[in-house]
Amino acid sequence: MYKNLFAEYGYDNDEVTKRLHKIWDAVFVDSETSVYHEVGSDMGFVTDTGNNDVRTEGQSYAMMMAVQYDKKDVFDRIWKWTKEYMFMTEGVHAGYFAWSTGLDGSRNSQGPAPDGEEFFAAALFFAANRWGNGEGIFNYAKEARDILHCCLHNPKPMWNHDNKLIKFIPEVEFSDPSYHVPFFYDGFAKWANPEDQQFWKEAAAASRAYLKTACHPVTGLNPEYANYDGSPESSRRKSNFYSDAYRTALNIGLDSQWHGYDKDLTACMDRLQKFFCETVKDEWDYVYTTDGTKIDQKVLHPVGLIATNAAASLAATDGPNARRSVELFWNTPVRTGDRRYYDNFLYAFSFMALSGNYREIV
């Protein structure tokens, strides 16, 4: 079920395994590149090194890496810090997690970001399936079910109940294509509270359909934020193919890996890889509008872009562009410096996916 595309393309399996270990160390251990910090005897957090804060995005990503790598101690430390400092018990967002805090846990925001909640829930379900449930906050499956219940039944829900699409934030009626992870929703349809399981089944189908509309019909590029019809949402100046948007190709690749090929999503990824490999070639690291118009601005996360374009090969047609995208990624090291946080998580997830090591843990 989980194909190793690196192996299919002729890369050495021992080297793939070594790199998986090195990637873990790069994110969690090595002094030059790690973004992980332990606090006391039982907590830990991940720093967004580009913004010097802690985000639900990063905490949930780190938990997903930890459960995929079978690192229970790291998982529990991060989850405990998250519940201690980010979980909101009062106000209109009670039951959600504050999307940004200082490194000391002080709140930078009293609002949530839905991508954090969905990754928390998925990681917690996987933890329950891998390690079993414990007590209190370590009753992983209960915690996941509670998060998903809040996402749907809070007075400010994170999903639109009519079209079953995730919102950018609860207060708005538009989406972020890179938030759409239908391969997680398939799991939620099995493990969420029984009364909500049908919703998640419908949400998975709705997201797959939405992704086809959000990817441009010529370039395959998607905007950072998009309306419910998939068109770029421009009121917040997030209508270009830029940082958030890179994750969409990774998510479509993973959905293909877990759920199976969808010919329309394959066509989207073929267009994306053709755009970067054939249309723009040496100018791949510029910002583009979704129709492919070049903007005189370099991308902020070039390593993340390379990684996710390679992950698109899991859904794309096997051919020169798919193989070229994987080769470029293979020859790209993890990022160092202030912006390494986001790039290296995308690097890690893409490498895990391409090697068949990013899995639904059941």
Please pick, among 48, 176, 186, 244, the residue that the annotation labels catalytic: 244
- 244: annotated active-site residue: yes
Please pick, among 48, 57, 118, 343, the residue that the annotation labels catalytic: 57
Give backbone dihedrals phi and psi of 38, rounded to 5 degrees, phi first: -90, 145
Spatial neighbors of 146 by CB under 8 A, at least 6 apart, are: 95
Q: How far is CA 276 from CA 98, 183, 197, in A?
A: 36, 26, 39
Question: In one letter, which amino acid is 99?
Answer: W
How far is CA 33 from its chain centroid? Answer: 20
In total, the chain counts a number of residues equal to: 362
Least Cα distance to 63 among 287, 361, 281, 279 occurs for 361
* Rounded-to-integer distance, Cα 38 and Cα 148, Å: 28
Q: HSE of 233 in the Cβ direction (CA atoms, 13 Å)?
A: 19
* Rounded-to-integer distance, Cα 339 and Cα 343, Å: 7
Q: Which residues are catalytic?
A: 57, 244
